[in-house]
Amino acid sequence: MAVVAPRGEVDLATVAAVRHALRSEEAGARVVLDLRQVEFMDSAGLGLIVEQMLRAEQDGSGFAVVRGSEQVQRLLRMAGLDERLVVLDDVLGEWDAGAVR
């Protein structure tokens, strides 16, 4: 299991770095994107999450996010991703207990 935890703002200017971090994880590994330290995120971050979801579906690996700020959570809601995404309250916990498909 790999955890990527960006800090600050995820937007057009920073998304490439986050994407790089995610892709450097080996294929098939479960990935957790920890959003707790993301102050702001826009559709650039959303795009990244969607990409990662599609990848996890293709190779059967798991993907989850750790609940972020109100702004981030609202954004996920607006995009309709909150229901399709595994959202964890913490990196450790339910997910390891097998709560993920």
What φ, ψ does residue 100 adopt, rounded to 5°? -100, 140
- Least CB distance to another protein at residue 35 (A): 15
Give the Cα-Cα-Cα angle 18, 92, 16 (nearest 5 degrees): 5
Nearer to another protein, 25 or 40 (CB): 40
Q: How far apart are CA 11 and CA 30, in angstroms?
A: 24
- Please give the size of the binding site for another protein, defined by CB under 8 A: 23
Q: How far apart are CA 86 and CA 66, in angstroms?
A: 8
Query: Which of positions 62-91 make contact with another protein (CB under 8 A)?
Result: 70-71, 74-75, 78-79
Among 49, 56, 65, 85, binds another protein (CB under 8 A): 49
What element of type H or E holds 87?
A: strand 86-88
- Pick the stretch among 7-15, 22-30, 57-65, 89-97 that binds another protein (CB under 8 A): 7-15
- If one asks whether residue 59 binds another protein (CB under 8 A), the answer comes out as no
Q: Which residues bind another protein (CB under 8 A)?
A: 9, 11-14, 40, 42-51, 54, 70-71, 74-75, 78-79
